[in-house]
């Protein structure tokens, strides 16, 4: 499972932690709330993120999508062992 992605010229993107998620939920402006996971994950303020070139903002968005995609999260392993048919028939 990938937990961080290096973005050239900007830094390392990591998903926001629980404190950052709580802060994101309190942002009143919907547009700012939508970009906050990208900005906070790269370690920037909203204003710093908005000042980035559009191409760089898109790279951060791609990193977010890669980290949150279902393909990045392995399926849980079922630890329950099944009885063989020989034992079940006794």
Half-sphere exposure of 46 (CA within 13 A, CB side): 13
CA distances (Å), origin 86, targets 21, 22, 80: 52, 53, 18
CA distances (Å), origin 66, targets 11, 23, 63, 78: 16, 22, 5, 25
pLDDT tens, 56-90? Answer: 999 999 999 999 988 877 777 666 665 665 555 55
Name every residue whose Cβ is closer than 8 Å to that of residue 66 and which is 6 or more positions away in sequence. Answer: 2, 5, 72
**CA separation for the pair 24, 37 (Å, rounded):** 7
**CA separation for the pair 89, 84 (Å, rounded):** 9
Give residue 75's pLDDT.
73
pLDDT tens, 5-49? Answer: 999 999 999 999 999 999 999 999 999 999 999 999 999 999 999
**Could you tell me the pLDDT band of residue 2, with boundaries at 50, 70 and 90?**
confident
What predicted TM-score, i.e. pTM, was given to this entire model? Answer: 0.77
> In the chain, what are the domain boundaries?
4-72
């Amino acid at each position: 499972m990938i937990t961080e992605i290096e973005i050239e010229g900007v830094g390392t993107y990591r998903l926001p932690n629980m404190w950052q998620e709580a802060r994101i939920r309190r942002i009143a402006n919907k547009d700012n709330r939508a970009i906050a996971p990208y900005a906070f994950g790269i370690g920037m303020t909203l204003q710093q993120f908005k000042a980035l070139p559009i191409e760089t903002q898109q790279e951060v968005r791609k990193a977010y999508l890669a980290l949150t995609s279902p393909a990045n999260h392995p399926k849980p392993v079922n630890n329950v062992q099944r009885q063989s048919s020989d034992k079940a028939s006794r």
